Chains A and B, each alone.
Chain A
Amino acid sequence: MNDPRGSHLSVLLDLSPTQWHLSALPSPANAYPLSLSSFLSQLLAFLNSHLACKHENSLAIFGALPGKSVVLYSSTNPPNVSQTIDANSYPPFKLVDSTVVLRVAEEMDNLDDPEEEEPIALVGALTKALCCMLWDSHLQGHQMMPDPRILILSVSPDHATSYIPIMNSIFSAQKLKVTIDVCQVYGPETVFLQQAAHLTGGSYIHLERRDALLQYLIMSFLPPPSIRKILSVPTQDRIDFRAACFCHKTIVDVGFVCSVCLSIFCQPVPVCSTCRTKFPIKTLQRLNASRPLPSTTAVNNTRSDHRPNSIRSKCTNNTEFQPTCSIKWYR
């Protein structure tokens, strides 16, 4: 806290039009509807309080849109706009607020209708945030800023094909000691972002009461990581590192892994379906003999329905971390 440099916060906004539309619709399943505009007004209050904490605090805001990612605001490279002097507002706050609102409106207007179907470019926004941090650290004489962190405000579900790039950016954040905080504002739990928060030591919050968004933001995400040790910030407790096999997408706790491409299978297979590597027959026999659970030795079972109930029941009540990397990704 005594560091004179202040802390840096990068905020990633998930601006998926479809998801925000769903989020704003009141329905029995959606008890607390939240529209994009009310989300933005709460977010701006949070951003202002981050800037207000310390004069040196810096801020960068990125938007993840369908198929592309943009920089909405960066305090190291502020936009040159002439502002009307307003006696009732603090100019730095007003600059952030007006820029973000303007840029979000611009980008949303620029979207074509067919583009809305594309998955949002979360990976692009995440890597951009990391690149900007690297550049900021260059400015400061190759020193990373203290407590750099990224806050992801997500509304979209996981996108399976982006598993590897997301994991790669998470690992690079981990390497740069960047904390990733995740707030899932709308939609189902995302296992990838859960992993992101877990691996970088951030916190993951799945928002239940969407009307209390600002309170969640300020209570859990405003304090920098060094202060969170003292505070009691919500963390994940149950983390399951089980994986989904590539062949049937079942969750396995003991899997068979190809040594060449690291594909996971739930039973010994003679040929790797991903990289076409043939495995020696001796290994198959040995593995079949030493399988943890007795089952038929045939390897052409398409379903694993014959698995004992103990495994199945264990699979269901846990959050699953699935490397659901699709096979077409390898082509």
Chain B
Amino acid sequence: MPPRKDADYMDIDSESDASIPDDDYGVGKSKGKSRAKAGDRRKDKGKAKAKENQPYTWEASYARSWETVQEDEAGSLQTSVEELLARGRRRRLLAPAAAVRRTIIRHLILLLDLSMSMLDRDMRPTRFDLMLQYAREFIVEWFDQNPLGQMGVVGMRAGLGERICEMSGNPQDVLKAISERHKLEPAGEPSLQNSIEMARSSMSHLPTHSSREILIIFGSLTTCDPGNIHDTLDSCVKNRIRVSVVALAAEMKICRELCDKTGGQFGVALNEGHFKDLLFELVPPPTQRALTRAAGAGISNPAADLMMMGFPTRLPDASPPSLCVCHSEMKSEGFLCPRCQAKICEAPTDCDICGLLIVSSPHLARSYHHLFPVKPYEAVMTLENGETAAPECHACSRPFPTSTSTTAGEGLSPVGRYRCLECRNEFCSDCDVFIHDVVHCCPGCGK
């Protein structure tokens, strides 16, 4: 398939984890693993070569990816496979630890391609079904990590932009909007301009301290626009809307330009797993530094503001039922807006009556880990003989591996130990990733 080559090339530039399998990718699939390795290799090469401006993967020397996979004493590939997995996961932790300012209050419009090209079966079962499935997972994860964010959905179908879901802070609303498959049946050609304009207009009223983002999942290779799409691009730049594109077919110049000029990310999905990776890379809040750089230096107001928020009282299940303002249903439980005393079903949201932003204090706390992450652990390179090394992982009490692995890479400990710089406790690679990805606090020092 011709677009595939292109996609491979894209992978180098997009800096993404090329086809590193997800955790839920079965361990038994050694084929997938060797592909992952190939991806690793290619990426490392690509980084080096990118500086020399070598444009194409097929001009790079041939990587004998299978030779790096070695059997252990028992003749099993299991250890190699686990090592590759650990390496892939750990790479995410090696991001720069410098202080960055992240946008906490996000507004995102998800632009779904609903054109005929989405019925292509190169991704199983079809691009369309896969997109819907991943979009659902994306929405759940996005709201989990961005509790104060709001999301809307716009579809591109038959040359029109179609509003599928209004901007909402409730994941259930958004999920419900894309749950009915038959209403989203693909048809016709997509129009990037129409749908971006629609997304832009629905975000034009938003305050400056919040981020405005558009995420396009694009499966087509064409766009049919009524006017000049570069005008739309300019207005996106002017409105500081960040456009990110996950393409399913191949790179298009206009998509790449949209992302580059607005500070978004662009990537072409190689396969199903890579598609998910690309999508989920957009879940954590973007840094604001990137935004200002992309939008030019002419911004006098450093996107900071004071916001008025209301902290509601939650009514217990046993309280007398009353009508809620959002659905007009009789309900016992709910939240009371502190300003107008209206009863709202869900928090966080905007009060339907007085427009006050309603949040509960746990929602604010949920965002704190983006602002103050756990410091990365250092990989223990050798076991000091003088020091009595801990026999087991400090977190899960599992004994550390006794053998030393031969293939040590960047940031990968040959003895499988990772040490917290604050409390000097040692952790296994599984716990290291779990602590940094999920728990966000160190079991040793509690920070």
The answer to whether A binds B is yes
Interface centre among A132, A176, A240, A262 (most CB of B within 10 A): A262
- Complex CA–CA separation, A75 to B356 (angstroms): 50
- Contact indicator B210/A259 (Cβ below 8 Å): yes
- Complex CA–CA separation, A268 to B308 (angstroms): 9
CB contacts (< 8 Å) of A262 on chain B: these are: 104, 364, 367-368, 371
Residue of B nearest to A131 (CB): B395
Q: Which of B304, B365, B393, B447 contacts A260 (CB 8 A)?
A: B304
Interface size class of A (residues with CB under 8 A): 35 or more
Q: Which of A132, A168, A241, A318 contacts B360 (CB 8 A)?
A: A241
Residues of B426-446 at the interface with A, using a CB-CB cut-off of 8 Å, are: 430-431, 434-435, 438-446
- Contact indicator A131/B210 (Cβ below 8 Å): no
Residue of A nearest to B144 (CB): A175
A239: Cβ under 8 A from any B Cβ: yes
A330: Cβ under 8 A from any B Cβ: yes
- Contact indicator B446/A165 (Cβ below 8 Å): yes
A21: Cβ under 8 A from any B Cβ: no
CB contacts (< 8 Å) of A255 on chain B: these are: 308-311
- Complex CA–CA separation, A239 to B318 (angstroms): 12
CB contacts (< 8 Å) of A127 on chain B: these are: 395, 435, 439, 441-443, 446
Of A31-39, A97-105, A280-288, the one with at least 4 CB within 8 A of chain B: A280-288
A9: Cβ under 8 A from any B Cβ: no
Interface 0/1 of B228-261, CB less than 8 Å to A = 0000000000000000000000000000000000
Residues of A119-133 at the interface with B, using a CB-CB cut-off of 8 Å, are: 121, 123-124, 127-128, 130-132
A-B residue pair count with CB separations less than 8 angstroms: 190
- Complex CA–CA separation, A74 to B399 (angstroms): 14
Interface 0/1 of A245-284, CB less than 8 Å to B = 0000000111111111110110011001000011110011
Q: Which of B316, B347, B446 contacts A241 (CB 8 A)?
A: B347
B384: Cβ under 8 A from any A Cβ: no
A114: Cβ under 8 A from any B Cβ: no
CB-CB under 8 A for A172 and B305, given A128-B443, A134-B396, A195-B362? no
Q: Which of A162, A164, A258 contacts B306 (CB 8 A)?
A: A258
CB contacts (< 8 Å) of B314 on chain A: these are: 238-241
CB contacts (< 8 Å) of B316 on chain A: these are: 236-239
- Contact indicator B365/A167 (Cβ below 8 Å): yes
- Complex CA–CA separation, A162 to B443 (angstroms): 12
- Contact indicator A280/B301 (Cβ below 8 Å): yes
A292: Cβ under 8 A from any B Cβ: yes
A243: Cβ under 8 A from any B Cβ: yes
- Complex CA–CA separation, A240 to B309 (angstroms): 15
Q: Which of B356, B362, B395, B438 contacts A199 (CB 8 A)?
A: B362
Closest CB of chain A to B145's CB: distance in Å? 10
- Complex CA–CA separation, A241 to B361 (angstroms): 6
A23: Cβ under 8 A from any B Cβ: no
B275: Cβ under 8 A from any A Cβ: no
Residue of B nearest to A240 (CB): B313
Closest CB of chain B to A200's CB: distance in Å? 11
CB-CB under 8 A for A257 and B430, given A164-B368, A164-B372? no
Judged by DSSP, the binding face of A is: mixed
CB-CB under 8 A for A322 and B308, given A124-B446, A135-B430, A165-B441? no
- Contact indicator B306/A259 (Cβ below 8 Å): yes
A163: Cβ under 8 A from any B Cβ: yes
B91: Cβ under 8 A from any A Cβ: no
Interface centre among B301, B347, B431, B442 (most CB of A within 10 A): B431
Residues of A69-91 at the interface with B, using a CB-CB cut-off of 8 Å, are: 69, 71, 74, 77
- Complex CA–CA separation, A287 to B207 (angstroms): 14
CB-CB under 8 A for A128 and B396, given A169-B439, A241-B347, A258-B304? yes
- Contact indicator B397/A268 (Cβ below 8 Å): no
B335: Cβ under 8 A from any A Cβ: yes
CB contacts (< 8 Å) of B447 on chain A: these are: 165
B289: Cβ under 8 A from any A Cβ: no
Residues of A170-220 at the interface with B, using a CB-CB cut-off of 8 Å, are: 171-172, 175-176, 195, 199
Residue of A nearest to B443 (CB): A127
B123: Cβ under 8 A from any A Cβ: no
Closest CB of chain B to A284's CB: distance in Å? 7
A323: Cβ under 8 A from any B Cβ: yes
- Contact indicator A257/B306 (Cβ below 8 Å): yes
- Complex CA–CA separation, A199 to B347 (angstroms): 13
CB contacts (< 8 Å) of B442 on chain A: these are: 127
- Complex CA–CA separation, A176 to B144 (angstroms): 12
CB contacts (< 8 Å) of B144 on chain A: these are: 175
B47: Cβ under 8 A from any A Cβ: no
A290: Cβ under 8 A from any B Cβ: yes
The 6 closest A-B pairs by CB, nearest first: A241-B360, A253-B338, A237-B316, A131-B395, A165-B441, A259-B209
With A123-B441, A131-B435, A277-B304 already in contact, 14 other A-B pairs whose C-beta atoms are closer than 8 Å: A128-B395, A128-B443, A131-B434, A135-B398, A135-B430, A167-B366, A171-B365, A175-B144, A238-B316, A241-B347, A254-B339, A255-B311, A278-B304, A292-B338
CB within 8 Å of B: which residues of A? 69, 71, 74, 77, 121, 123-124, 127-128, 130-132, 134-135, 138, 142, 162-165, 167-169, 171-172, 175-176, 195, 199, 236-243, 252-262, 264-265, 268-269, 272, 277-280, 283-284, 287, 290, 292, 318, 321-323, 325, 329-330
| Interchain Cβ contacts under 8 Å between A and B, 6 examples | A142-B23, A171-B366, A255-B309, A257-B364, A290-B308, A321-B362
